[in-house]
Chain A
Amino acid sequence: MEGFISLFQAAVFFGTVIMFGCVGEIITEKAGNLNLGVPGIMYLGGISSLVAVFLYEGSTQNPSPVICVILALAASFIGAALGGLIYAFLTISLRANQNVTGLALSIFGSGVANFFGGSLNTLAGRFEQIAVPVTSAAFRSNISVLADLGVVGKLFFSYGFMVYLAIILALVVNYFLHHTAAGLDLRTVGENPQAADAAGINVTLNKYLAICIGAGICGFGGAYYVMDYIKGTWANDGSIEKLGWLAVALVIFATWKAKNAIWGAYLFGVLYWMYLYIPGLTRASQEIFKMLPYVVTIIVLVVTSLTNSREKQPPAALGQAYFREDR
């Protein structure tokens, strides 16, 4: 039982990071843009929140937890959305290739984040390890009455607020995409931009908004990772990058539906951490186990292409630049 609880908790922590990334990327892909810059965008979101809070906590004697949280979230959203804006400008206005631009954004974002993450102390003239204790504590605090409810409390109420925010956001995005007129417009842009344009939908505006807002949501994943997952510090070990690619994989696994991202994210978390709970693994064979999330994604990818079900396909115009004069 102990083992199950800790696996469940590890999966929720892990899943929350990639759920943000996945939900953001779903909005982007529904508008017809495959943004391979998710790792870079999550990096930008993470570092923006860290820098903003680092400066705030360093500037006052008694930092307020509420301001810390608002600042961290706002900074991560804006930082990530700016990354999305670069991508949007290049791919929509300048019609650069989406895959190549996304990869360049991943390189750029990881460079910016690790550069500032690694040099923040030198630049600020301080030499201790980066830490933002107040914010991190605020991100990790839970409602202790509920968290103490034995097994149920541990399983469902022992997390910081971002875990629940991720689920709510996934449901909201799902509702928006599939049950509102604006969501229908957005999906039309991703399926058939010519038809959308003819119907009077502003293709460029829809794509810009979807990419920037989607990127901002990915950025929350970065903020959650920095503030909660690694407890308010910085590590140049490339784990955000790995998680970012998993978020891209999760979009496929969820067959482009935000509500599937919720359980999919936790399932990925279980698959990722399962090796810790299987007895008799050597350090080498653990590594084979860590392949599971990727292998499962490949299988889902193959199966969806085999079944050819209309419900489970990527948006039809995914990856193509729209140029009105093209026929």
Chain B
Amino acid sequence: MAAAKKEPFIRLAKRDVMPVGKKIAVRLISLAIALIVCGLLIFSITGINPLEVYSTMIKGAFGTKTRVWATVKEMMMLACIAIGLAPAFKMRFWNIGAEGQVLIGGIVTAGCMIYLKPLPPVLLFAIMFVGSAIAGALWGLLPAIFKAKYNTNETLFTLMMNYVAIQLTSFFVAKWENPFGSNTVGIINQNGQEGWFPAVFGSRYFISVVLVLLLAVLMFVYLKYTKHGYEISVVGESENTARYAGISVGWVVIRTMLVSGALCGLAGFMAVAGASHTISTSTAGGRGFTAIIVAWLAKFDSATMLLISLLLAFLQSGAGEIASKCKLNSYASEMITGIILFFILGSEFFINFRVIMRGKKEKEEN
């Protein structure tokens, strides 16, 4: 049959580079389609008209000052972890272990708040800051060493480390339980508020915001303008090239994971000392996984990571509002987040590939 020899109906070719404007347009279109799909989905379940859905969501996320701060807090947590993950992922080191690194940072912070309560505040903060960063770094170091020395699969290793950290958290929750029998740690230092971030400009979250923005700038500079950053991107592009260029790949892997783990540990410090003032297995709350997607979609660019974190934080607070309005449960936000991520992930295809229809000539691409 002649049909077998026909040119395929569609075929694909890799694009070299897409202009920035067009890239942004592709992503915005995919986001818009995703939001329409989600709106229709919510409509079919709850019967609320899709436009009202989004106005309710905006009200839920930004309606009052408290809500704005709650959304910003969520955004900053997510962004902080994503910033921490960025160097590891740029190196193509699949650090799925942020969840655990955050928890370990949180455990150290909570421990300091409990045992070092009498110290002067400045010293206490310094210890918590350094301690949580070191703890996170060590948690990331273990898989890095095995990766560097024996090429042990880091995706699965870091994934398992999460659960070791979760059990360790459960251990400390049982140990620090307060009041007895509640199986929670309760609010630590409720009376004296030792180790709590002080309120600045009327909000306790202000310091976290400043800290994360500072980290975002530092990470941008680190990845873009330093020798370390350059080495990371060479190792990420091709380990063989890196080795040929005289870069010690093993050392870069270990050093980068120390940085990555330390920043995730700091996220735990902010979650405990800056926000919840307690520790539980849900202190990280899946953000360690979500942040991976944030970092990946942003292509490790600090500003984009902040924007995507804002979008996801908005969805979470907004969907929470819809859920409580319709007496449905708040897992709706995870469902919506999932759908939006699918669309954004799918849109990458149109940035990386060209689709050529049968019979068309190649020249009409850009």
| Residues of A participating in the B interface, judged by any CB pair closer than 8 Å | 34, 36, 40, 86, 89-90, 93-97, 99-101, 103-115, 118-119, 122-123, 236, 242, 245, 248-249, 252, 282-288, 290-291, 294-295, 297-298, 301-302, 305-306, 314, 319, 323, 325
Contact in complex: A94, B329 (CB < 8 Å) = no
Contact in complex: B156, A106 (CB < 8 Å) = no
Contact in complex: A294, B335 (CB < 8 Å) = no
In the complex with contacts A107-B338, A301-B160, A99-B349 CB distance below 8 A: no
Once the chains are docked, how many angstroms separate the CA of A112 from the CA of B353? 31
Question: Which residues on A sit within 8 Å (CB–CB) of B349?
Answer: 93-96
Once the chains are docked, how many angstroms separate the CA of A291 from the CA of B153? 20
Q: How many residues of B contact A (CB 8 A)?
A: 54
Min C-beta distance of B319 to chain A, whole Å: 9
Contact in complex: A294, B164 (CB < 8 Å) = yes
Contact in complex: A305, B152 (CB < 8 Å) = yes
Contact check: which of B170, B292, B329, B336 meets A118 at CB < 8 Å?
B329
Contact in complex: B164, A114 (CB < 8 Å) = no
Min C-beta distance of B66 to chain A, whole Å: 25
Once the chains are docked, how many angstroms separate the CA of A114 from the CA of B335? 9
Contact in complex: B331, A115 (CB < 8 Å) = yes
In the complex with contacts A114-B331, A301-B160, A90-B342 CB distance below 8 A: yes
Contact check: which of B13, B159, B339 meets A245 at CB < 8 Å?
B159
Contact in complex: A314, B96 (CB < 8 Å) = no
Contact in complex: B341, A114 (CB < 8 Å) = no
Min C-beta distance of B226 to chain A, whole Å: 26
In the complex with contacts A297-B160, A302-B152, A325-B12, A108-B339 CB distance below 8 A: yes
Min C-beta distance of A317 to chain B, whole Å: 14
**What does the 1/0 interface line of B134-160 toward A look like (CB < 8 Å)?**
000000000000100011110111011
Does B293 sit at the interface, judged by CB under 8 A? yes
Once the chains are docked, how many angstroms separate the CA of A306 from the CA of B289? 28
Contact in complex: A100, B296 (CB < 8 Å) = yes
List residues 293-346 of chain B with CB under 8 A from any CB of chain A: 293, 296-297, 327-329, 331-339, 341-342, 345-346
User: Lowest 3 CB-CB distances: which A-B pairs, in order?
Assistant: A108-B338, A111-B334, A111-B335
Once the chains are docked, how many angstroms separate the CA of A95 from the CA of B349? 7
Does B161 sit at the interface, judged by CB under 8 A? yes
Q: Which residue of A lies closest to B162 (CB)?
A: A245
Sample (20) of A-B pairs whose CB atoms are under 8 Å apart: A40-B338, A94-B349, A104-B342, A107-B289, A109-B338, A111-B331, A111-B334, A111-B337, A112-B331, A112-B335, A114-B329, A115-B331, A118-B331, A242-B163, A284-B174, A295-B164, A302-B152, A302-B157, A305-B150, A325-B14
**Chain A interface main SS type:** helix
Question: Which residues on B sit within 8 Å (CB–CB) of A114?
Answer: 329, 331, 334
Contact in complex: B331, A236 (CB < 8 Å) = yes
Once the chains are docked, how many angstroms separate the CA of A274 from the CA of B89? 37
Does B68 sit at the interface, judged by CB under 8 A? no
Contact check: which of A106, A290, A314 meets B167 at CB < 8 Å?
A290
A-B contacts besides A291-B164, A298-B160, A325-B13, 5 pairs, CB < 8 Å: A90-B346, A118-B328, A245-B159, A287-B167, A291-B167
Once the chains are docked, how many angstroms separate the CA of A70 from the CA of B96? 37
Min C-beta distance of B39 to chain A, whole Å: 16
Question: Which residues on A sit within 8 Å (CB–CB) of B339?
Answer: 108
**What does the 1/0 interface line of B5-18 toward A look like (CB < 8 Å)?**
00000001110000
Contact in complex: A115, B160 (CB < 8 Å) = no
Contact in complex: A291, B332 (CB < 8 Å) = no
Once the chains are docked, how many angstroms separate the CA of A86 from the CA of B37? 15
Once the chains are docked, how many angstroms separate the CA of A58 from the CA of B144? 53
Question: Which residues on A sit within 8 Å (CB–CB) of B164?
Answer: 291, 294-295, 298
Q: Which residue of A lies closest to B295 (CB)?
A: A100
Contact in complex: A99, B94 (CB < 8 Å) = yes
In the complex with contacts A100-B296, A114-B331, A305-B146, A294-B338 CB distance below 8 A: no
Does B63 sit at the interface, judged by CB under 8 A? no
Question: Which residues on B sit within 8 Å (CB–CB) of A107?
Answer: 286, 289-290, 334, 337-338, 341
Contact in complex: A291, B45 (CB < 8 Å) = no
Contact in complex: B160, A287 (CB < 8 Å) = no
Once the chains are docked, how many angstroms separate the CA of A109 from the CA of B289? 14
Q: Which residue of B lies closest to A299 (CB)?
A: B160
Contact in complex: A119, B171 (CB < 8 Å) = no
Contact in complex: B292, A103 (CB < 8 Å) = yes
Q: Which residue of B lies closest to A242 (CB)?
A: B163
Does B175 sit at the interface, judged by CB under 8 A? yes
Contact in complex: A95, B353 (CB < 8 Å) = yes
Contact in complex: B345, A291 (CB < 8 Å) = no
Contact in complex: A115, B335 (CB < 8 Å) = yes
Does B168 sit at the interface, judged by CB under 8 A? yes
Question: Which residues on B sit within 8 Å (CB–CB) of A106?
Answer: 289
Does B352 sit at the interface, judged by CB under 8 A? yes
Once the chains are docked, how many angstroms separate the CA of A319 from the CA of B92? 12
Min C-beta distance of A124 to chain B, whole Å: 12
List residues 220-267 of chain B with CB under 8 A from any CB of chain A: none
Contact in complex: A287, B174 (CB < 8 Å) = yes
In the complex with contacts A36-B96, A99-B155, A236-B171 CB distance below 8 A: no
Question: Which residues on A sit within 8 Å (CB–CB) of B297?
Answer: 100
Contact in complex: A108, B334 (CB < 8 Å) = yes
Contact in complex: B167, A100 (CB < 8 Å) = no
Once the chains are docked, how many angstroms separate the CA of A94 from the CA of B156? 24
Contact in complex: A96, B153 (CB < 8 Å) = no
Does B348 sit at the interface, judged by CB under 8 A? yes
In the complex with contacts A94-B349, A104-B293, A115-B329, A252-B167 CB distance below 8 A: no
Contact in complex: B159, A108 (CB < 8 Å) = no
Question: Which residues on B sit within 8 Å (CB–CB) of A242?
Answer: 163
